[in-house]
Amino acid sequence: MNAMVHAEGLGKKYYLRHQKKDAYATLRDSIVEGMGRVCRLGRGGRETRDEFWALRDVSFQLQPGDRLGIIGRNGAGKSTLLKILSRITEPSEGVARIRGRVSSLLEVGTGFHPELTGRENIYLNGAILGMKRLEIKKKFDEIVAFADVERFLDTPVKRYSSGMYVRLAFSVAAHLEPDVLIVDEVLAVGDAQFQKKCLGKLEQASREEGRAVLLVSHNMAAIEALCSTALYLRNGGTKAHGPAREVIERYLGDMAVSAASEVSKRSDRSGKGMVRLTGIRPVGAAVGGSCSVGDDLRLALSVENRYGHPVSARMCLSLRSSNDIGLIVCDSYLTGETHTLAANSVTTLSCTVFAPPLNYGEYFVNVTILKDDQVEDYLPSALRFSVESGTFDNHVRQQAAFPILARFSWKVEGDEAADAP
Amino acid sequence: MSAQGEEVLIRPGGSRAGYWRDLWAYRELFAILAWRDVTVRYKQTVLGVLWTVLKPFLTMVVFTVIFGRLAGLPSHGVAYPVLVFAALLPWQFFAGAINECGVSLISNANLLTKVYFPRLIIPASSVAASLADFLVCCGIMAGLMVFYQVNPGWRLFWLPLYLGIACFASLGGGLLFAALSIRYRDFKHIVPFVVQFGLFVSPVGFSSTVVPEKWRLVYALNPMVAVIDGFRWSLAGNQPAVPLYALVLSLASTALLFLSGVWYFRRTERAFADEI
């Protein structure tokens, strides 16, 4: 078999501990708990441990030069899959065989130290990513030129602008020469032009040198441009696997469908579930509704509280583009408020977004309800709504390519005679 | 990363066969992480070097006054400051290394969750970084020896043996603490306390001849006893040699500490990224 990567039935199981209040165990807790367990012996009391499969039964193969895009909602298991293939965490079941050298890029600038200079960080980061010192030395000038930071090589990176930082970090990574490259969402950072440069570099490496690339991204355009095939994960399982375009269409279609079905019957939610979203709709518009560019967006939400006492809830809405990029977040945490939900009842709330700068098009709303910093209910794509074309400030024409609109003005500030040719 | 043409096998509880080979393949990362720790420590604080010098120096002054002057403990004809500093040298290294090693995994959490490499590299490199402070302190020791006109002669060449024991003992203990502190977050408060406690059960402020004869055997189980006595013997001159039984016991307890540290670390290592 000639596959570079051969994954078969990969799965990862986590245990959710319900008794724990803190995320971290302490020795003190363990001792107290252990004593408690001894005392409860014979009475059948035990800790409840729920299994949770973050990933289950995922199989695929990559040949030299293959580029596989992995898509799916947050929590679908994409990162878990990458972590297993990068050997950061072990699978609970299944086998993967990888031929050759593997480099994984799960974060830009892993291990960068702010106190060290750009030069020092290149060596540090290179070593962390698995490059030999000689290899880095050989490519040093290339790395610096690609990142365009020659002048700041001996400045500590804490003084770098975020753009420079990202460019330097990505440049080191782009000069790795692995047989299999694993990339997680790192293209989401950096300016568009640099992103394009990086995508080009990735594609070139794969095409000319036969590297296999695995890429996770929420940026469907990037996946479509770079990847030949795609793998769509949902709730830890494989939902679709095939040509990139088809899989992406399927994914975007699913997002639209789940938004259309009735909220209270949806099962693709997470959280403790004692407080649940039971309905969401735009106000002042038809069901499945819409508003126009420049209008206030008003959403009515019904929330059921199953606790026998009133709950002060933190409400969070995020407005997302049709390719699942977060655009606007309306989190009551930001305004420092909580909202009281009466005991054992359904409360109606509304959220108004004042003249959101959204262009016409399709948008999705994710809803999260928290109580005491714990997620009670998280429902992705709880609502799909469309913004119809309308007037925005001084714009006289419309263009669909960009989801966010802003006021702007162009002005000629003066002119100077050009030298005669 | 693994060498060209090799196959990486990933399966539950598996992919362990190449661990020691990988450890060797990642030796450059070990060196560069140690270098990072040293560079950052001396860059971040203006007082970096000064602090490294002042801490053992002031401790020496205090111990000399308390144990040498007030308690009047014997020094076998060597200036008390030399006696104390020859002991502080390995002790400061041991305490520093074990502390740094114990928190090394937590402070490098971002690496644990983002990149693969044999995790042993992190605590091992933090011990190596502690050697830098040790070297700085060696400078003070040299100064003291010149000042008090102590000539150690050929005994100096035995020093690496005792330094080696201190390295393995601190790495062994540090590995245990590092692995435990991933699972139990309050360990970072326990470690400094244990180390502080160790200062008083090791013969740092006084000569180990102060300990009653019948307890010496038990006392020698503390791996640092032979190390400290060895340092004194190698550096301060005129000091009793480390008895063979004490050296053997120290080697044995160090080996036990080191092996159990490696064993526990390796056993828990695979879950680090999930638990941190």
Asked if A106 has any chain B CB less than 8 Å from its own CB, the reply is yes
DSSP bridge partners of A376: none
DSSP three-state, residue B10? strand
pLDDT on residue A283: 77
Q: pLDDT grade, residue A46 (50/70/90)?
A: very low
Helix B80-107 / helix B223-235 crossing angle, nearest 10 deg: 130
Residue B118 located in a structural domain: yes
Could you give the CA distance from residue B54 to residue B148 in angstroms, rounded to a whole number? 19
Residue B20 located in a structural domain: no
pLDDT on residue A418: 79
pLDDT on residue A420: 65
Tokens 């019957």 belong to A265
Chain B residue numbers with beta carbons less than 8 Å from the beta carbon of A97 are 7-10
Asked if A97 has any chain B CB less than 8 Å from its own CB, the reply is yes
Residue B131 located in a structural domain: yes
Residue B1 located in a structural domain: no
Q: Is the pLDDT of residue A187 over 70?
A: no
Q: pLDDT grade, residue A262 (50/70/90)?
A: confident
Q: Do B1 and A86 touch (CB under 8 A)?
A: no
pLDDT on residue A21: 44
Residue of B nearest to A107 (CA): B114
Q: pLDDT grade, residue A186 (50/70/90)?
A: low
Residue B16 located in a structural domain: no
Tokens 């000038």 belong to A141
Chain A residue numbers with beta carbons less than 8 Å from the beta carbon of B32 are 123-124, 127, 133
Contacts of B218 (CB under 8 A, 6+ apart): none
Q: Tens digit of pLDDT for each residue in B144-185?
A: 999 988 888 888 899 999 999 999 999 999 999 999 998 888
Nearest-neighbour CA in chain A from B134: distance (Å): 23
Q: Say which range, A88-92, A225-229, A288-292, B125-129, has the weakest mean pLDDT.
A: A288-292
Q: pLDDT grade, residue A22 (50/70/90)?
A: very low
pLDDT on residue B143: 92
Per-residue tokens: A338? 């909580």
Tokens 């360990």 belong to B187
- Which of A24, A172, A185 to mutate to test binding with chain B, by most B CBs within 10 Å of its CB? A24
Q: Is the pLDDT of residue A147 over 70?
A: yes
Average pLDDT, chain A: 83
Residues in chain B: 276
Contact residues, A window 337-366, toward B, CB-based 8 Å cutoff: none
Could you give the CA distance from residue B143 to residue B132 in angstroms, rounded to a whole number? 17
Chain A residue numbers with beta carbons less than 8 Å from the beta carbon of B29 are 127-128, 130
Which is nearest to A378 in space by CA: A308, A320, A315, A300? A315
Q: Do A107 and B5 touch (CB under 8 A)?
A: no
Q: pLDDT grade, residue A35 (50/70/90)?
A: low
pLDDT on residue A288: 43
Asked if B186 has any chain A CB less than 8 Å from its own CB, the reply is yes
Per-residue tokens: B147? 């000042």
Contact A96, A8 (CB under 8 A): yes
Chain B residue numbers with beta carbons less than 8 Å from the beta carbon of A80 are none
Contacts of B223-226 with CB under 8 Å at 24 or more apart are B223/B165, B223/B169, B223/B250, B223/B253, B223/B254, B223/B257, B224/B90, B224/B91, B224/B94, B224/B166, B224/B169, B224/B198, B224/B250, B225/B250, B226/B162, B226/B165, B226/B250, B226/B251
Q: Is the pLDDT of residue A289 over 70?
A: no
For A198, half-sphere exposure in the C-beta direction (CA atoms, 13 angstrom radius) is 27
Q: Tens digit of pLDDT for each residue in A361-385?
A: 888 899 999 999 889 999 988 888 8
Contact residues, A window 10-39, toward B, CB-based 8 Å cutoff: 14, 24-28, 30
Query: Count of CB contacts below 8 A, A vs B?
Result: 127
Q: Do B39 and A99 touch (CB under 8 A)?
A: no
Chain B residue numbers with beta carbons less than 8 Å from the beta carbon of A100 are 4-6
Chain B residue numbers with beta carbons less than 8 Å from the beta carbon of A110 are 110-111, 114-115
Q: Is the pLDDT of residue A124 over 50?
A: yes
Per-residue tokens: A225? 């441009």
pLDDT on residue B22: 84
Contact A12, A91 (CB under 8 A): yes
Asked if B268 has any chain A CB less than 8 Å from its own CB, the reply is no
Side chain identity, residue B216: R
3-state secondary structure chain A: CCCCEEEEEEEEEEEEECCCCCCCCCHHHHHHHHHHHHHHCCCCCCCCEEEEEEEEEEEEEECCCCEEEEECCCCCCHHHHHHHHCCCCCCCEEEEEEECCEEEECCCCCCCCCCCEHHHHHHHHHHHCCCCHHHHHHHHHHHHHHHCCHHHCCCEHHHCCHHHHHHHHHHHHHCCCCCEEEEECHHHCCCHHHHHHHHHHHHHHHHHHCCEEEEECCCHHHHHHHCCEEEEEECCEEEEEEEHHHHHHHHHHHHHHHHHCCHHHCCCCECCCCEEEEEEEECCCCCCCEEECCCCEEEEEEEEECCCCCEEEEEEEEEEECCCCEEEEEECCCCCCCEEECCCEEEEEEEEECCCCECCEEEEEEEEEEECCEEEEEEEEEEEEEEECCCCCCCCCCCCCCCECCCCCCCCCCCCCCCCC
Contact A101, A94 (CB under 8 A): no
Contact residues, B window 29-68, toward A, CB-based 8 Å cutoff: 29, 32-33, 36, 39-40, 43-44
Chain A residue numbers with beta carbons less than 8 Å from the beta carbon of B14 are 90
Q: Is the pLDDT of residue A29 over 80?
A: no
Q: Is the pLDDT of residue A286 over 50?
A: no
Chain A residue numbers with beta carbons less than 8 Å from the beta carbon of B112 are 88
Per-residue tokens: B76? 């076998």
Average pLDDT over every residue of A210-233: 86
Our count of domains for chain B comes to: 1
Which is nearest to A326 in space by CA: A411, A272, A404? A404
Chain A residue numbers with beta carbons less than 8 Å from the beta carbon of B114 are 88, 104, 106-107, 110
Residue B18 located in a structural domain: no
Q: Do A128 and B29 touch (CB under 8 A)?
A: yes
Could you give the CA distance from residue B153 to residue B85 in angstroms, rounded to a whole number? 18
Q: Count CB neighbours of A34 within 10 A.
A: 10
Q: Do B116 and A86 touch (CB under 8 A)?
A: yes
pLDDT on residue A408: 87
**Domain hosting residue B142, numbered range:** 25-275
Asked if B1 has any chain A CB less than 8 Å from its own CB, the reply is yes
Residue B2 located in a structural domain: no
Which is nearest to B147 in space by CA: B60, B242, B55? B60
Chain B residue numbers with beta carbons less than 8 Å from the beta carbon of A84 are 10
Tokens 């450890």 belong to B23
Contact A293, A355 (CB under 8 A): no
Pairing of strands A345-353, A297-305: antiparallel
8-state DSSP, B67:
I
Q: Is the pLDDT of residue A397 over 90?
A: no
pLDDT on residue A10: 92
Which is nearest to A245 in space by CA: A69, A58, A60? A69
Which is nearest to B240 in space by CA: B249, B231, B248? B231
Asked if A290 has any chain B CB less than 8 Å from its own CB, the reply is no
Work out whether the CA dihedral B30, B31, B33, B34 comes out positive or negative: positive
Nearest-neighbour CA in chain A from B105: distance (Å): 13
- pLDDT tens digit at each of 276 positions of chain B: 444 457 888 888 765 667 888 888 889 999 999 999 998 888 766 676 787 788 888 988 998 888 888 887 777 778 888 888 999 999 999 999 999 999 999 999 989 988 888 999 999 999 999 999 899 899 999 999 999 888 888 888 999 999 999 999 999 999 999 999 988 888 878 888 888 888 888 888 888 888 888 888 888 899 999 999 999 999 887 778 888 999 999 999 999 999 999 999 998 888 888 887
Q: Do B44 and A115 touch (CB under 8 A)?
A: yes
Residue B92 located in a structural domain: yes
pLDDT on residue B257: 95
Q: Do A99 and B5 touch (CB under 8 A)?
A: yes
